Amino acid sequence: MTRRSKLALDPAMVRTARRLAKRAAAPVEKLARTHTTVSVERAILRLAGLSGADASGIPWVNRLVEAVQADTGLDHGVALPAWAAVVREGLDLPTLAEKAAAGGVTFTLPTGRDRQRARSAADKAVAAGLRRIDRNRRVREQLTRKLGDPPFPWVYLIVATGDIDEDIPQAQAAAREGADVIAVIRSTGQSLLDYVPEGATHEGFAGTYATQENFRLMRAALDDVSRELGRYVRLTNYASGLCMPEIATLAGLERLDMMLNDCMYGIIFRDINPIRTFVDQRFSRQIHARAGIIINTGEDNYLTTADAVDAAHTVIVSQLLNERFAREAGLADWQLGLGHAFEINPDIPDQFRLELAHAQLVRELFPSAPLKYMPPTKHMSGNVFAGYLLNAFFNLAGVMTDQSIILVGMMTEGIHTPFLSDRDLALENVRYVRNSCGNLAEDFHPPANGLIQQRARQVLGESIDLLERICDDGLLSAIADGTFGVTKRPADGGRGLDGVVAKADGYHNPASAVLEEAM
Amino acid sequence: MSGPVIRPYGDTTGDGMVQVSFTLPIAKDERADGAAQQLARKMGLDPAMVVHSKPVGPDFTFFIVYGRVSHLVDLAAVEVTEREYPLLSAKEVNLAIRARLGRRLVVVGAAVGTDAHTVGLDAILNVKGVAGEKGLESYREIRVLNLGSQVDAEVLAHRAEAEGADAILVSQVVTQRGAHMQHVREVADAINVVYPASTRPLLIAGGPRFDPAAAADLGVDRVFGKGTTPREVASYLVHAICQSARDHAAGRR
């Protein structure tokens, strides 16, 4: 789609911004290529079909990676020592994991012909998982063709009961009410677990655990309702956190359609180690690229802590970095659901015009990306009537600036999990704005050098200034200095650093070998 | 009735008019409005006017009802449960710390003992926060050290001293046979060993199983129970630390 700039942005400035983002990302990309993590290695085992958990609920992939790490370290990857043992002991992977957890296997790094045999066994096992991901991508393409694919903007609704059995009827009801995308919010703090829980789950803290079985159950339920409605209803979950590579893999294996996957969210908001995060996000995005999954980035989060006017440029900078890291990992532009939000204080004069400037700027900087626009949260008070009005203005801004994925704002945001009626009223709001405005975007032409154009150019200018500083200091130092959000995150701090390992010469990862080749 | 008495105000003094909205699990058929009427009357609205009813899917109907209530509010009988400190916004917390302490307030938090659950600790400390409220990390004037789970009581005490902690937050989520209380007492003991008498930082325990009235029994300054939000903790910190710092500076202590 080609769009004429409504903001009279200087194409040279846009190119400069991208060039700086690429330069800022380069050292971190190198770190990501030269390191692995326990979660990347566990993802390999999941691709090879290893699932389930021991009696205490610790997944077998964790137990096996721990056992291999204890014997050989992980600098050559889990695959070679694990499949050397598979070949040597004549066991299948689940039996090996069980035996290893009981201390009954000694792992060694194979050499010579043993190495060749282990490598080809590992490659074969992991290829089966990649084939399943490829098959799911084709099934999605077939279903969207056969059942119908809703046009943008997609209506995105959240379900979060904690119990997958309750989530399913709620998700189906939401789809019948008009949702194009169902997001199942995770249990509070799952991003900090260094393992993926197992099985169908029925209790969570303000959300439902992301597990392979929960993914499967919900996707099957949405397939049913998609057939009933004659349109493909997409399913979203959350990859960010300590298990980004594994959750991305499970999403590919169970045909999820979109995944929250931000290059810095875990660092800033969850105090996960920066290097762990960057290594994990690269592998997880390679998997998403392969699976045809659309990622959603989390820039809206910045504006819930920082001021939406003062920090507008940090959103743009993060989007440019997310785009850069995503492209480097092989994602296509149609897979980049870059996030932003309608979070300016409604008491500020010209609030709506400033929101339009920001939203249009994002639209024009990323013309082919399915942008995800988030409703107000910070300035939603207990006054549900005022909140309903604010959500209408959010919906209007979304239509006027041609946003792609619209998260439906609830007037009871921050009060309780949405009532059935809250959701229905919210959808009525969206429907009214969409129907009454139609293709209002084609009529929206901010005047030359008016407030909207000037504000957009100012934010772009500030973004370039910040990117220049990041290039000078290094991205890791910028994060350590509290550039994003308000929090300082040093490169050697945070959770999960002990799970990061520098790759040795001869490191082998059967999935990466295939994924890198495809890029 | 002992004091002044009032009624809800619609557009005329004493008209008693209120509005409510609710959903009933009933299809929008001829019975639906009558069902809403009945509920409204039982809630004390008489007469009740169902001004809007709309199906929400095949099995539910949403209603908006206006009506007159006959109930009176006796102002003398209104009980005000005030916390001993005001609930502040993040901005007010930051301002208060800057003005009264003149430096960043240092908070060290940990889940101690055998408890591996950091969900409560992270809800209060992580930037992400809980229930739409950002955690203490998001406050510019608070420096947070989140030590995570299964932290030894002595390690926590020494770390708190090394970091110059103003407050120590101890979280306990999963417990059995009163282990959460035992673990908190261990922290209190360890702190009393590390710090000279009456110089220890503020000690706060939190978790769903704690009784907020048990602070003295546990040897802590404050207990926060289920449903506590970061703002409540921040407001308390300002109250307890900044207040005493000012008193101290003024020689009133």
pLDDT band at A485 (very low <50, low <70, confident <90, very high): low
| B interface test, pick of A260, A305, A417, A432 with most B CB neighbours within 10 Å | A305
| Structural domain for B193, as ranges | 90-249
CATH number of the CATH domain containing B224: 3.40.50.280
Same domain, B29 and B98: no
**How close B51 comes to chain A (CA, Å)?**
16
Q: Residue A124: how many CB atoms within 10 A of its CB? A: 12
Q: What is the tally of structural domains in chain B?
A: 2
> B189 lies in a domain?
yes
Same domain, B70 and B99: no
Looking at residue B113, what is its pLDDT? 74
**Residue closest to A509 by CA, chosen among A112, A32, A26:** A32
**How close B107 comes to chain A (CA, Å)?**
15
Contacts of A270 in chain B (CB under 8 A): 122, 126-128
Interatomic CA distance for residues A294 and A313, integer angstroms:
24
Same domain, B95 and B179: yes
Contact A50, A64 (CB under 8 A): yes
pLDDT at B180 > cutoff 90:
no
Chosen domain end from B75, B107, B128: B75
pLDDT at B245 > cutoff 60:
no
**Residue closest to B165 by CA, chosen among B148, B144, B180:** B144
> B239 lies in a domain?
yes
pTM: 0.86
pLDDT at A83 > cutoff 60:
yes
> Of the listed B54, B128, B134, B226, which one is catalytic?
B128
Determine whether the interchain pair A424/B54 forms a contact, defined as Cβ–Cβ distance below 8 Å.
yes
Active-site amino acid positions of A: 265, 300, 372
Beta bridge partners of A154: A405
| SS3 call for A184 | strand
Contact A124, A116 (CB under 8 A): no
> B140 lies in a domain?
yes
Stated as kind and residue range, the H or E segment containing A294 is: strand A294-296
Task: For residue A440, give the DSSP letter.
Answer: G
**Residue closest to A31 by CA, chosen among A276, A261, A328, A268:** A276
Chosen domain end from B26, B50, B75: B75
Same domain, B145 and B58: no
> B211 lies in a domain?
yes
Determine whether the interchain pair A305/B138 forms a contact, defined as Cβ–Cβ distance below 8 Å.
yes
> Across chain A, what does the average pLDDT equal?
94
Same domain, B186 and B147: yes
**How close B130 comes to chain A (CA, Å)?**
8
Closest CA in chain B for residue A205: B119
pLDDT single digits (tens) B183-209? 888 888 888 888 887 788 999 999 888
Contacts of B65 in chain A (CB under 8 A): none
CATH number of the CATH domain containing B64: 3.30.30.60
User: Tokens representing A426?
Assistant: 């919210």
ipTM rounded to 2 decimals:
0.84
> B82 lies in a domain?
no
> B112 lies in a domain?
yes
Interface A–B counts its CB contacts (< 8 A) at 61
Which of these ranges, A275-284, A371-380, A456-465, has the smallest mean pLDDT? A371-380
Looking at residue B82, what is its pLDDT? 66
Looking at residue A255, what is its pLDDT? 98
Same domain, B116 and B209: yes
Chosen domain end from B52, B75, B98: B75
Closest Cβ opposite residue B127 in set A189, A192, A269 = A269
Contact A258, A236 (CB under 8 A): yes
Chain A CB within 8 Å of residue B61 CB: no
> B84 lies in a domain?
no
Same domain, B112 and B237: yes
Looking at residue A194, what is its pLDDT? 95
Looking at residue B176, what is its pLDDT? 67
Query: Which residue's structure tokens are 């994924």?
Result: A515
Same domain, B151 and B212: yes
Q: Tell me the average pLDDT across A249-257.
A: 98
pLDDT single digits (tens) A399-426? 999 999 999 999 988 777 788 899 999 9
Determine whether the interchain pair B119/A189 forms a contact, defined as Cβ–Cβ distance below 8 Å.
yes
Same domain, B33 and B158: no
Determine whether the interchain pair A421/B127 forms a contact, defined as Cβ–Cβ distance below 8 Å.
no
Interface of A with B (CB under 8 A): 173, 176-177, 188-189, 192, 205-206, 268-271, 301, 304-305, 377, 413-414, 419-421, 424-425, 485-487, 495
> B169 lies in a domain?
yes
Query: ∠A347-A381-A403 over CA atoms, to 5°?
Result: 70
User: Tokens representing B184?
Assistant: 């908190």
Determine whether the interchain pair A420/B56 forms a contact, defined as Cβ–Cβ distance below 8 Å.
yes
pLDDT at B250 > cutoff 50:
no
Looking at residue B251, what is its pLDDT? 42
Interatomic CA distance for residues A53 and A346, integer angstroms:
49
Beta bridge partners of A272: A495
| Bridging pattern class, strands B60-69 and B17-24 | antiparallel
Contacts of A192 in chain B (CB under 8 A): 118, 122
Closest Cβ opposite residue B128 in set A205, A269, A424 = A269
Same domain, B135 and B29: no
Same domain, B65 and B127: no
Contacts of A269 in chain B (CB under 8 A): 126-128
pLDDT single digits (tens) B16-40? 999 999 999 999 998 999 999 999 9
Integer CA distances (angstroms), B204 to B79, B166, B192, B210, B230, in order: 28, 11, 14, 11, 13
Determine whether the interchain pair B123/A377 forms a contact, defined as Cβ–Cβ distance below 8 Å.
no
Same domain, B184 and B109: yes
Integer CA distances (angstroms), A473 to A273, A469, A479, A511, B7, in order: 19, 6, 10, 34, 64
